[in-house]
Chains A and B, each alone.
Chain A
Amino acid sequence: MKHSIWQDGIKIGLIGGGVGVLLSLIGMVEAFSQRHIISNVISMGHTLLLVIALLVGYMAAKRASQTQPLRVLANGLISGLMVGGLLALLVMVGNLVRLRAVFINASPVLYKLLTFDYGIGSGIFLLLCAGTFSGVLSGLFYLSPALARRVLLTSLSSVVMAGVLQDLLRPTFALWGPLAIINEWLFAANGLTIQGAVSLFILMALIIYFWAKRGSAVKTGFRGLPPTKQRALRTTGLLFLIIVLLILPQVLGLFLSEVLTIVGLFVLLGLGLNIVVGYAGLLDLGYVAFFAIGAYTIALLTSPELGFFGFSFWSALPFAIIVGIIFGVLLGIPVLKMRGDYLAIATLGFGEIIRILVLSDFLRPWLGGAQGVGKIPKAAIGSIEFAGPQQIYYLILAGCFLVGFISWRLRDSRLGRAWMAVREDEDVAQAMGINLVAAKLLAFATGAAFSALSGAIFASKLGSVYPHSFNVMISINILCLIIVGGMGSIPGVLVGAIALVGLPELLREFADYRLLVYGAALVAMMLFRPAGLWPEAVHRRELQEEESVGTETESLSGPEPGKQEGV
């Protein structure tokens, strides 16, 4: 048995170290080191590597039982050492060979970062020490009681989150007089201050501690209330949420409002695809086509550059949606009989065909070719023009509410249930008397309508449309956000859009690695949490049933999602 400990530690450590080296070589560590989590103490790049070492140590430690503390610590130590060792190896090799000829990110800056700016000899020693130390820390973490683990994990991750989201928090605090003091206490010019980080940590620890002690009492207290009061509380909560949403752009300023509008557009798109993929189970990879159709219909009808019609935004909007629906049905008919992967590829083909057609010189007189169409007028009600992001936001918010409401009502309707039956098993659904053709076409049409609406707003927001804005990446993006959020779940779309669209917009360093992270997120979600971050009720039930079969659930990845779905 003795050497199985070694094997576990070494194997996991090597995998982790490999991931660390990969992240360094693709430039993530260097790019992230621009941003400090705690000012002048630790940067985001270092945090990334630290998290890997801690995670690896924890996973290695988990291989041993908690009753054998020595073994746990040994596992953690070895794996941490391996992570440090591989990174040290990278530095050594990098100093001997000019790796940069092949790997463009293997720069001296990276080596400096990895050796903590202490030169090769002592730097490598430090690196090994740091790896070993974090491995042992993970071992200790694993040995500590459950409550301590929870408190530690949550408060540490909230400190990291505060550091990561400093660009969001700082301007928000700065706008409000009394909160400016908090700002000064928490943030330095670059990252959290030390006292800020410590006080945030303590605050969060206290909150989590008391919630863990008293939280269940609060929950049962809420459940114990009479239904009318529960309802009233929920309604108040909802009203409060709506008010917050309404004043949000005024509070957040121009840049963050712009981020919000982008998130909002993706929520619209996500809600549409959620109907097609989440409800009806039709994997559509050409979804961006309808977005393009909506945008181009608006362009065609309103733009004076083409000079066909000269409609206003509002009179063109219904046409955009109708054209979207027509195309949804038209492209839906041929793929009615396909399932699963064939459907995915065929729809991908449709998406590309539409993009290529729009891009071609052949349709240039009508659609503008590669130069696109410009001078699309803004939407306006009376004298209020939806020009800047702070105004467009309301347009998008209204769209989101409308579409969210429709999908929420559709979910439990006869049609919604028919969709879900089709998703679970087409043949059985048909045998139960569901008209497959109608159900599928309605799903495509509804999804297309939402997408066309989003495209219409997008066109008027940008004032111009280009074929390059409608490539397959958008489809993947939307698919990714509904999968991360949880297929078929409406709040999941929101969570997914904030996590996958909002966060990368806030983190400029992230831009280059966005699709990389999306890809990794898709794989990781499918491997560890196929139902998403905020699963739909049906899926959650299924998962709970399956847990008894013995699938390993990962709760490491983040805090447990919401308690009750459906407000």
Chain B
Amino acid sequence: MIPGSTRMVFLPDPRPMPSNFFSTVKTIYEATLEDGFSMWKRMKERMTPTDIVMWLIGGGMLALIIWGSTATLIAGRYTAHHWFDFMVFGLAQGSIYALIAMGYTMVYGILRMINFAHSEVFMSGPYTAYFVAAFFYSSGFLDQQPIISLLAIFLVSMSVSTLIAVLLERIAYRPLRNAPRLVPLITAIGASFFLQYTFRGLYGSGFQAYPVVKILEGEWAFWDFRILKFQAVVIVAAALLMAALYTFIQRTRVGKAIRAVSEDKEASSLMGIDIDRMIVTTFVIGGMAAGAAGVLYALMFKQVHFSMGFIPGIKAFTAAVLGGIGNIPGAMLGGIFLGLVESVGPSLFLDGLGIVAPYQLKDAIAFTMLVLVLIFRPTGILGEKLAVKKA
């Protein structure tokens, strides 16, 4: 009510006064009924044919998934050991996605743009570190001092990725900060291809086999289940890194400043925060996470290539969207969830549908999930108001 206006005060309440308990109940009941009815009517009015088509598609997908999963489980082609292996693999892959997704989600939070070139930030680190690893391997240092060499590899990879991320921000994104939305996205796509083919020119177009680290070979046994060592290491390392980054964002002054900038740029600049510096810091953190993720990825799949960033990049983006873009814990959760679905999914629900070679379709599962999330819940699992504001 507008202050100073007193008109409303003198008007009588238009609703009839309830005379006794029963009539009160009856009124409330009727009101609720009416509310419910009108809500239904409103929903019916707002429901467009496209909505119906979309819900049908979604329902159909769900039915297929349930049907496929049931069929697989009844057929019992896979034992508990199989499922356990799938889960561990999915967890390892998912934690790598989660690390990359951090970069996407933080940059989105602070600049409201998809850093499409983040997949190249991810690729540049391990590809450069490959030469360090190869040198250590050929000189025998890798076998003598595996821990130190691994640390050095991580360090090189993280610093190269960080450098690329910072250069990217400085050259490609900073001049376009106030441009229309499509412009930085197109720039990012361009930068992505430029970087990919620059590294191809620098290091060659072949696949490079990452040297084998002996201490990561073999497996650990827990009762009846066995875990490949490197998968366990990948999971643990990724978890530690994520915990460190999360603490940094939540607990330190700089982290607080970054969160403030992504909340409201003008206000935080009025509070004395240097916005440019915070944006660069964001890119640095994202680059470090991507560089570390890159080495983990290279350790897991044992090779690097100039286009190795594209698919994990898109999947990490899916993970970020899945968790609610701009939301850091969401990105972690989304990454792990996506990793699990991708490794369990083909055997769980595609196999049951009688699809030949279901594993070929694992990328299609990730992309379908991306599209479904974008359609039905663009705010993601841990959706925030941010996505609503934007959509």
Interface residues of A (CB under 8 A from B): 22, 25-28, 101-105, 281, 283, 285, 333-342, 344-346, 348-350, 352-353, 356-357, 359-362, 364, 437, 472, 476, 479-480, 483, 512-513, 515-516, 518-523, 525-527, 530
Which of B184, B185, B195 has most A Cβ within 10 Å?
Answer: B185
Please give me the residue from chain A that is nearest to B204 by CB atom: A104
8 A Cβ contacts from B258-293 to A: none
Measured CB to CB, the closest approach of chain B to A363, in angstroms, equals 9
Q: 20 A–B contact pairs at CB < 8 A?
A: A26-B198, A103-B203, A283-B185, A335-B371, A338-B391, A340-B182, A346-B374, A349-B314, A353-B371, A356-B363, A357-B364, A479-B189, A512-B201, A513-B197, A513-B201, A519-B197, A522-B189, A523-B172, A523-B191, A526-B179
The one of A105, A285, A516, A526 that contacts B187, using a Cβ cutoff of 8 Å: A526
Which of A102, A350, A437 has most B Cβ within 10 Å?
Answer: A102
- Asked if A516 and B185 sit within 8 Å, CB to CB, the answer is no
**Given A333-B53, A521-B190, A530 and B183 contact (CB-CB distance below 8 Å):** yes
**Given A103-B203, A339-B391, A22 and B357 contact (CB-CB distance below 8 Å):** no
Measured CB to CB, the closest approach of chain A to B69, in angstroms, equals 18
Please give me the residue from chain B that is nearest to A480 by CB atom: B190
Residue-wise interface mask of B (167-199) relative to A, using a CB-CB cutoff of 8 A (1 in contact, 0 not): 000011001100101111111011111111110
- Asked if B57 and A334 sit within 8 Å, CB to CB, the answer is yes
- Asked if A530 and B179 sit within 8 Å, CB to CB, the answer is yes
Q: Give every chain A residue within 8 A of B357 (Cβ-Cβ).
A: 360-362
Measured CB to CB, the closest approach of chain A to B101, in angstroms, equals 13
- Asked if A437 and B189 sit within 8 Å, CB to CB, the answer is no
Q: Give every chain B residue within 8 A of A342 (Cβ-Cβ).
A: 321, 374, 378, 391
- Asked if B194 and A520 sit within 8 Å, CB to CB, the answer is yes
- 7 extra interface residue pairs, beta carbon distance < 8 Å, beyond A336-B50, A356-B360, A519-B191: A104-B204, A342-B321, A346-B371, A352-B367, A362-B358, A519-B196, A520-B194
Measured CB to CB, the closest approach of chain B to A349, in angstroms, equals 4
Residue-wise interface mask of B (377-391) relative to A, using a CB-CB cutoff of 8 A (1 in contact, 0 not): 010000000000001
Q: Is B348 an interface residue (CB 8 A)?
A: no
Which of A346, A483, A521 has most B Cβ within 10 Å?
Answer: A346
Q: Is B114 an interface residue (CB 8 A)?
A: yes
Q: Give every chain A residue within 8 A of B378 (Cβ-Cβ).
A: 338, 342
Q: Give every chain A residue within 8 A of B182 (Cβ-Cβ).
A: 281, 283, 340
The one of B50, B185, B200 that contacts A341, using a Cβ cutoff of 8 Å: B185
The one of B131, B176, B201 that contacts A105, using a Cβ cutoff of 8 Å: B201
- Asked if B190 and A344 sit within 8 Å, CB to CB, the answer is no
- Asked if A523 and B194 sit within 8 Å, CB to CB, the answer is yes
Q: Is B370 an interface residue (CB 8 A)?
A: yes
- Asked if A362 and B194 sit within 8 Å, CB to CB, the answer is no
C-alpha gap A404/B375 in the complex (Å)? 33
Interface of A is mostly: helix
- Asked if B194 and A519 sit within 8 Å, CB to CB, the answer is yes
**Given A105-B201, A336-B50, A527 and B367 contact (CB-CB distance below 8 Å):** no
Q: Give every chain A residue within 8 A of B318 (Cβ-Cβ).
A: 349
C-alpha gap A393/B175 in the complex (Å)? 43
Q: Is B210 an interface residue (CB 8 A)?
A: no
- Asked if B186 and A522 sit within 8 Å, CB to CB, the answer is yes
Q: Give every chain B residue within 8 A of A359 (Cβ-Cβ).
A: 360
C-alpha gap A527/B203 in the complex (Å)? 28
Q: Give every chain B residue within 8 A of A356 (Cβ-Cβ).
A: 360-361, 363-364, 367
The one of A334, A348, A479 that contacts B314, using a Cβ cutoff of 8 Å: A348
Q: Give every chain B residue within 8 A of A27 (Cβ-Cβ).
A: 201
- Asked if B361 and A362 sit within 8 Å, CB to CB, the answer is yes
Which of A335, A350, A362, A479 has most B Cβ within 10 Å?
Answer: A362
The one of A25, A361, A437, A516 that contacts B360, using a Cβ cutoff of 8 Å: A361
- Asked if A361 and B364 sit within 8 Å, CB to CB, the answer is no
- Asked if B190 and A526 sit within 8 Å, CB to CB, the answer is yes
- Asked if A353 and B195 sit within 8 Å, CB to CB, the answer is no
- Asked if A345 and B193 sit within 8 Å, CB to CB, the answer is no
Measured CB to CB, the closest approach of chain A to B346, in angstroms, equals 11
Q: Give every chain B residue within 8 A of A285 (Cβ-Cβ).
A: 189
Which of B193, B318, B391 has most A Cβ within 10 Å?
Answer: B193
Q: Give every chain A residue within 8 A of B368 (Cβ-Cβ).
A: 349, 353
Measured CB to CB, the closest approach of chain A to B291, in angstroms, equals 17
The one of B187, B201, B361, B370 that contacts A523, using a Cβ cutoff of 8 Å: B187
For the complex of A and B, the 7 pairs showing the least CB-CB separation, nearest first, are: A522-B190, A26-B201, A519-B194, A519-B193, A516-B197, A349-B367, A523-B190
Residue-wise interface mask of B (304-344) relative to A, using a CB-CB cutoff of 8 A (1 in contact, 0 not): 00000010001001100100000000000000000000000
- Asked if A25 and B202 sit within 8 Å, CB to CB, the answer is yes
Please give me the residue from chain A that is nearest to B311 by CB atom: A352
- Asked if B360 and A476 sit within 8 Å, CB to CB, the answer is no
- Asked if A362 and B356 sit within 8 Å, CB to CB, the answer is yes
Q: Give every chain A residue within 8 A of B181 (Cβ-Cβ).
A: 339-341
C-alpha gap A346/B367 in the complex (Å)? 8
C-alpha gap A333/B55 in the complex (Å)? 11
**Given A360-B357, A362-B355, A362-B361, A340 and B185 contact (CB-CB distance below 8 Å):** yes
- Asked if A437 and B50 sit within 8 Å, CB to CB, the answer is yes
Please give me the residue from chain A that is nearest to B54 by CB atom: A334
**Given A519-B190, A526-B183, A341 and B114 contact (CB-CB distance below 8 Å):** yes
C-alpha gap A384/B241 in the complex (Å)? 67
C-alpha gap A117/B198 in the complex (Å)? 26
C-alpha gap A187/B355 in the complex (Å)? 61
